[in-house]
Amino acid sequence: MRQSMTLIPTLRELPSDAEIKSHQLLLRAGFIKQIASGVYSYMPLAKRALDHIEQIIREEMENAGAAELLLPALQPAELWQESGRWYTYGEELMRINDRHDRSFSLGPTHEEVITSIVSDSVPSYKRLPITLYQIQTKFRDEKRPRFGLLRGREFIMKDAYSFHTSEESLDEVYQKMHQAYTNIFTRCGLDFRAVLADSGSIGGKDTQEFMVLSEIGEDTIAYSDASSYAANIEMAEVHQVYERSDEPEKELSKVETPGKKTISEVSGFLNVQPSHVIKSLVLIVDEEPIMVLVRGDHEINDIKVKNALDASSVEFADEERTKELLNCSFGSIGPVNLPATLKIVADNAVEAMVNAVCGANEDDFHYINVIPGRDFHVDKYADLRFIQEGDPSPDGNGTIRFARGIEVGHIFKLGTTYSKAMSATFLDENGKAHPYIMGCYGIGVSRTLAAVAEQFNDENGLIWPTAIAPYDIHLIPVNMKDTEQKDLAEKLYTELKEHRYNVLFDDRNERPGVKFKDSDLIGMPVRVTVGKKAAEGIVEVKIRKSGEMQEVKAGDLLEVLTNIFKEL
């Protein structure tokens, strides 16, 4: 493509409202333009990069046995009412009425539509399993759109849905999708992890998020430094074995701790390690107050409390409620001498504590030399805390480290949540109806573009991996008014295109400084510069990533490029 015929609106100045690199660079390099908060135009370079990402996705989806279709953005409210999400999705669901006052959602996802179609089209087990996917513009009215394409209100998704007669069949496709996603993000050149995630309110068992590692990520990942283990910190199980100290048990005793409330205040005042203090909190579990204990150096993970107690809702009691129950303030509560009606659950680490400290349910007093089991009864021990850096990896290999990640993909065993709600059934061999067992599998396509931009850049601009780069080569005659330069550049342009390179040809009458600055900013993998040595038939080849530069005879260019692209 001749640069004069496309639109690459590069900016010299840093956009003031762009906080993160990918957002700044995609704006500055003329890849995107904001039309409204969280709504962007994809300019020609971005469109080409998106095409490449989409092509990779299509190839891997096809390999995984999925068939592509395209569902509408407008979805009748009735479908969402059937699934119940019309009432629960909240303000993120964009809703619109047509001229006859019928309500529609603007699809943020398509479980309802696809379930309705499959239910209508695949009545029998004979035609199952089936996996269908689409690449489509989606809408979600984010409360705080930000980070450019990372959290927008109109964005491009790949969403796939699979339908099965059995859990085994779902497992199989789930694994295929896991492999496809691994291939996709590997081909995109991304540094990512497949991370165990919370299945949230939808139910279902297995779910994994594909996270691109990045400081600006909104999620924290716990990963092993020695294996492929990775999980959302909310989900990471703690498999640590806590050794009980063999120090002699001392007698329980109440001590004054005037004004000391936090773990660090109490442990400092009593001159013990925070790990010797029992942290006690009241949580409201399915409307019943329960006391939860963890070690002073640990944090309670309410999702684990919820799972351990098989509850459907868990929240932390506020100070007022706590006072009502125990007649003391937050910092002074503890498990000793509680009313028998108040259940106690504790993290496994608490079981190993000896001569510990805890609140005395009386302001300004704590107990010391507390022995769990001796001084209070624990109804249940379980893994109730957040994993921490330095903990052993739950898979037994290596030590846990933390990283931040951008979620670019999500695979999910939905089970029968939607099919049951929507009465979507197939007939088995005996003519008996069962709800489809379903999986769903998403990729944020426009978000992946931003994630690549976030991982690949330097102080001069973007550095596209070859698989995604809008063009392979940026061909730049330094001076288009110089006939020798122009002619050689035109000749090379034709030749390179014939050899199936995607070439961006900077045929603009701009100063060399502008051309080179733009070129670094937009970041094609290889730059071929036709300058003063054009008369001698010599051009310059520069690799954007390494900055490596070499002079090459025009006749050798193709060979040199073949080698460079082999390496890149």
Residues that bind a copy of itself (CB under 8 A): 1, 4-7, 9, 30, 33, 35-36, 39-44, 46-48, 50, 62, 65-76, 91, 94-96, 98-99, 102, 104, 106, 113, 116-118, 120-122, 126-127, 130-132, 134, 137, 139, 141, 143, 153-154, 509
SS3 551: strand
CA 2 centroid distance within chain: 37
Residue 374 carries which DSSP code? T
Q: Name the minimum Å distance from CB 196 to a copy of itself.
A: 29
Give the angle 86-91-93 at the CA atoms, nearest 5°: 55
Question: Can you give the length of the chain in residues?
Answer: 568
Q: Which residue's CB is nearer to a copy of itself, number 94 or number 325?
A: 94
Q: Name the minimum Å distance from CB 41 to a copy of itself.
A: 5
Does the CA dihedral 408-413-417-420 come out positive or negative?
positive
Burial of 518 (0-12, 13-18, 19+ CB in 10 A): buried
Going along 312-375, which residue ranges are E strands? 314-316, 343-347, 356-359, 365-370
Q: What is the residue-wise DSSP string for 234-293?
A: TTPPP-PPPPPP-SPP---EEEE-TT--SHHHHHHHHT--GGGBEEEEEEEETTEEEEEE
Q: Name the minimum Å distance from CB 511 to a copy of itself.
A: 13
Separation CA 476–CA 531 (nearest Å): 8
- Report how far apart, in Å, the C-alpha atoms of 18 and of each of 155, 256, 561 are: 18, 53, 36
Q: Name the minimum Å distance from CB 355 to a copy of itself.
A: 54
Q: Which residue's CB is nearer to a copy of itself, number 346 or number 449?
A: 449
Separation CA 293–CA 342 (nearest Å): 13
Does the CA dihedral 295-299-305-307 come out positive or negative?
negative
Q: Which residue's CB is nearer to a copy of itself, number 137 or number 423?
A: 137
Q: Which residue's CB is nearer to a copy of itself, number 153 or number 366?
A: 153
Q: Name the minimum Å distance from CB 74 to a copy of itself.
A: 5
Q: Name the minimum Å distance from CB 205 to a copy of itself.
A: 25
Q: Which residues is 426 bridged to in the sheet? A: 434
Q: Which residue's CB is nearer to a copy of itself, number 50 or number 463?
A: 50
| Per-residue tokens: 208 | 């994994």
Q: Name the minimum Å distance from CB 367 to a copy of itself.
A: 50
Q: Which residue's CB is nearer to a copy of itself, number 139 or number 418?
A: 139
Q: Name the minimum Å distance from CB 562 to a copy of itself.
A: 24
Separation CA 462–CA 46 (nearest Å): 12
